[in-house]
Amino acid sequence: MNGVIVVDKAPGLSSAQALRPIKHCLTKGVRIGHTGTLDPFASGVLAVVLGNATRLSSYVMNMTKTYEALVCLGTKTDTLDCTGTIVEQKDPGPYRPFELLDAIEGQKGLIEQVPPAFSALKVQGERAYKLARQGKDVLLEPRSVMIYGIDLIAIRWPQVSLRIRCGSGTYIRSIARDIGAAMNLPSSLQSLRRTSVGPYEADARNTLRIESGVSLQPTDLSQRVQPIRSVIQNLKIPEVHLDLDEAYLIATGRAIQRNEWVGAATGTEVVAILNESPSPFLQVLAMTETQVGGWIKPRTVFSASRDWVEEEYKSLHA
């Protein structure tokens, strides 16, 4: 099985626990991975890659993500979320709309963000959350993250509901903390739901809901798995379409030459697509890159598509 399954994880499960029912349905040797961890208290989309699609994990991880977050102003916990111990409280006072909007606006765009102490980042070889649980000071350096937009959904003061679109590496708990800090208030995240990862949405018809104790059948996966090309199309990487002879060269690690790519910048990423694919799950043959003179060289070849090309080519040239 090769492709992407969109999982809607229920709160209370770790990301690893959400993958277990899927693993039990896979044949031995099929690789599986999720592309962006969700904390156990959070719910929502995990884009799960299977088989050859695991080669594209980094692409999916870098897709834009959308969250719905409930921020509680006036209360801060050590973990910056609802699972932690309260470490600071302050009367938030009356609702201050303009101050809130300014605080939200300050979190948009390319910002420098300090990750939470309770995170999986490493500090001198140790996970930050392990050091934090031991009561040790955890100093994490700020990192550049991209916040594409923050929309105010609802206000039940001192709780504020937000919709956040952001890039890879963003901590929503840090956004909650920093909005509060801009208003001179302690704050933390009360709830969090990831509603989309790139094109993969929580409320899509083919989304697989995973709750504690759920049992799955192989058909539950086969009915929902999406082809590798669903990843590629979202990235808008240029494509080159191959006949069988060209596909055989790429499949066996050799380059092909195309006049239309003469003059392209060396190293331009191009997706090799099979013109005569027998299945949408075999359309993508390889990730390739351009070289001088219009040559296109394979970089990552997907084994399922390669096997079909080699078998088809040999049967026609027997």
N residues, the chain: 318
Residue 124 confidence (pLDDT):
66
Tell me: the pLDDT tens digits for 59-96?
Answer: 999 999 999 999 999 999 999 999 999 999 999 999 99
Strand runs labelled E in 117-265: 122-123, 126-127, 143-156, 159-166, 187-197, 200-201, 208-210, 239-242, 256-257
CATH annotation of 65-197: 3.30.2350.10
Rounded to 10 degrees, what is the CA torsion of 113, 114, 115, 121? Answer: 110
Helices (H), 162-240: 172-182, 218-222, 229-235
Q: pTM of the full predicted structure?
A: 0.90
Question: Residue 134: how many CB atoms within 10 A of its CB?
Answer: 9
> Catalytic: 307?
no
Q: If you average pLDDT over every residue of the chain, what do you get?
A: 91
Fold that domain 237-316 belongs to in CATH = 2.30.130
Position 126 confidence tier, pLDDT thresholds 50, 70, 90: confident
pLDDT exceeds 90 at position 284: yes
CA neighbor of 272 nearest in space, from 253, 255, 293, 247: 247
Q: Are 69 and 161 spatial neighbours (Cβ–Cβ below 8 Å)?
A: yes
Same fold for the domain at 3-63+199-222 and the one at 65-197? yes
pLDDT at 264 over 90: no
Q: Which residues of 208-243 are buried (b: 16+ CB within 10 A; e: fewer)?
A: bebeeeeeeeeebbeebbbbbbbbbebeeeeebebe
Residues 291-307: what's their mean pLDDT?
94
- Any idea which residue has 């006036």 for tokens? 74
pLDDT at 233: 82
Q: Which CATH number fits domain 3-63+199-222: 3.40.1260.10, 3.90.550.50, 3.40.50.1100, 3.30.2350.10?
A: 3.30.2350.10
Distance in angstroms (rounded) separating the CA atoms of residues 191 and 11: 10
pLDDT of residue 263: 87
Output 1 or 315, whichever has higher pLDDT: 315
By three-state DSSP, how is residue 92 classified? coil
Residue 74: which of 86, 92, 87 has the closest Cα?
92
Annotated domain spans of the chain: 3-63+199-222, 65-197, 237-316
**pLDDT tens-digit readout, 184-239:** 999 999 999 999 999 999 987 889 999 988 888 888 888 899 998 888 887 888 99
Q: Are 172 and 164 in contact (CB under 8 A)?
A: yes
From the candidates 39, 78, 81, 178, which is the catalytic residue?
A: 39
Give me the amino acid identity at 87: V
196, two tokens: 């989309």
CB 35 within 8 A of CB 47: yes
